[in-house]
Amino acid sequence: MRSLILLLVVQACSSDAAVHQATCRPTDRSPYPASSPYLGVHAGPQQNDLVACDLADAYEPAWHALEGYGVAQPNTFSPDGQTTYVTTSEPTPDACTVFALDVATGETRWCVRLPGALGAAVSVDEDGDLYLTTTGAVRSLDADGGTRWSHDVIDALGAPSLAYGTQFTPDGLVATVTADGALLLLDRATGAARATLDLPSAFGFPKPGATSAPIDLGSLLPESISADLARVFGGAGQLLSVFTGSSGNYTDNTVGVAPDGTMYVIGYGPDAHTGALVQVKRGGPSDAPTLTPGWFVRTVEGSASSPSISPDGRWVKVTDGNASAAVLNPATAEASARLVDIGACDQNTDGDADPTVCAPAIVVPLVSGPALGASPVLDGGEQYLWDVQLADLLETEHADLRRLDGDQVVWETRLPDDAQWTSVVTLTDHHILGTTTRLTASDQSLLSIELPATASSDVVMIDRATGELVWSAPVTDDSASTVTVGEDGSLYVTLLGLVHGFATDTPIVGGVQRFVEPADRAEPE
């Protein structure tokens, strides 16, 4: 007993010198690299930006790369963890848009120009090959940036169109969905189409463009903001149209792939003011797959939220309401998080008697407006919510981040100094990662929307159990995507500057920042 007491005293006296170091132990399924904790935007069997890492208790800046480029999607990693891949805006007509960076230094290993890559994270398979969407094509590159294959994406008029993100199915195919609603399964080796399903036709919905027309919000911005957006993005129109739900596309979001291969897409619904989350059932072998429509969930028109699927495959979740009307007239904004019990809808034991229509099991209103980015749902219905309302950026009276079990609030957090949550949530074993932004008011507006004058942002770490702030550090911009985690537990913040871009007196910096554990910290006892 005296030895035990002595040990406790020694540990207590030396606790100031002890530090907690990051450990990551991912176990990802093929064809994803087994050792990478972060696989890509909402990728892998967990679909929730959930990484198997226990983070350190402090970090410091290591490098800042690609300043002057906007980065809308998270960076991903080579199988050996030594290279990270980033897609960017096109600040000049000849600018590269896909970069391979050295993890240790942030220096560019190679870059290529592929127009329209801004909206796509790079998916990486266990062989080290890369997959992404660009204007007019789904593409695969080798580890040196050379083209392996390109699959054309065209619209009904034969013009180059867009697809949104790439995911790997459990049997190794590449899944994507196009702007006009075609769900594609492509062969990973050749890019050949193995299956396709026209979602509006399959579910009897109107074609894109029949229900709404794109709105050019960029033309309504003050000159100082328009010039800043043009400097980083080459223009403001396409960027704002996606994030304000005014693109006119069937969807602006990635496909969700469940652990059993079933797929989910959110987009336009049965009429002009109704969206839909649709289920697509997968059958057949990988060389001859089949796609058939399942049920659909009615949603409020508009979403910047890809479907999230719980690790056990029971729940699928979306948030809705991110339509242009909510920006032009914030008082009309209506947005909710909708949790669907997949088994109940498959067996038609949900709240709607029609087997083709699924009623959500849980609906939680978003307090101040739509959420920009997919929010997680874990086993047991554990979920996290935040609101980023571009139409009301200076609103600070509501909770910034909430954890719920189903529809029951576990905790709510108000960020210090009237900061707001301005990224997608990344979950680790014990923490939540993201960016927060503080704004000051200006005397300028966009229609009836008050614009900020200045913006300042931080990367933050929140305790998952309590909602308390654990650590923070300044970053140059807000991130519209997820903070990613490398094999060594280092943090990466991709910087779009979407909220900073609305500030009249704060220029966008952009790029990606890496944070590492301090080199001079004491080792654990």
Summarised one tens digit per residue, pLDDT across range 387-405 is 766 667 777 788 899 999 9
Section 407-415 average pLDDT:
95
Q: Report yes or no on 273 lying in a domain.
A: yes
Q: Please, which pLDDT band fits residue 15 given cuts at 50, 70 and 90?
A: very low
Least confident residue range of 69-78, 140-149, 235-244, 477-486: 235-244
Q: Cis peptide before 31, with omega less than 30 degrees from 0? A: yes
Q: Please, which pLDDT band fits residue 215 given cuts at 50, 70 and 90?
A: low
Q: Report yes or no on 372 lying in a domain.
A: yes
Number of domains observed in the structure of the chain:
1
In terms of residue numbers, what domain contains 226?
Answer: 2-516
Q: Report yes or no on 334 lying in a domain.
A: yes
Q: Report yes or no on 523 lying in a domain.
A: no
Section 482-499 average pLDDT:
95
Which one has a higher pLDDT value, 35 or 130? 130
**Strand, helix or coil at 336?**
strand
Section 163-171 average pLDDT:
93
Q: Report yes or no on 392 lying in a domain.
A: yes
The residues with which 154 forms a beta bridge, in sequence order, are 160
Q: Is 73 left (phi over 0), alpha (psi -120 to 50) or beta?
A: beta
Q: Report yes or no on 38 lying in a domain.
A: yes
| C-alpha to C-alpha distance for 435 and 386, rounded to whole angstroms | 12
**Could you tell me if 218 and 235 are in contact, meaning their C-beta atoms sit under 8 angstroms apart?**
yes
Question: Mean pLDDT score of the chain, rounded to an integer?
Answer: 88
275-296 pLDDT tens trace? 999 999 999 999 999 999 999 9
Domain of residue 47, CATH code: 2.130.10.10
pTM reported for the whole predicted model: 0.92
Task: Look up residue 145 and give its DSSP letter.
Answer: S
Q: Report yes or no on 37 lying in a domain.
A: yes
Q: Please, which pLDDT band fits residue 245 given cuts at 50, 70 and 90?
A: low
Task: Show the tokens assigned to 504.
Answer: 């009249």
**Could you tell me if 360 and 298 are in contact, meaning their C-beta atoms sit under 8 angstroms apart?**
no
Q: Residue 47: pLDDT above 80?
A: no
Q: Report yes or no on 477 lying in a domain.
A: yes
In single-letter form, the type of residue at position 353 comes to: A
Section 381-392 average pLDDT:
80
Q: Residue 469: pLDDT above 90?
A: yes
| C-alpha to C-alpha distance for 13 and 36, rounded to whole angstroms | 37
Q: Please, which pLDDT band fits residue 151 given cuts at 50, 70 and 90?
A: very high
Query: How long is the chain?
Result: 525
Q: Residue 301: pLDDT above 90?
A: no
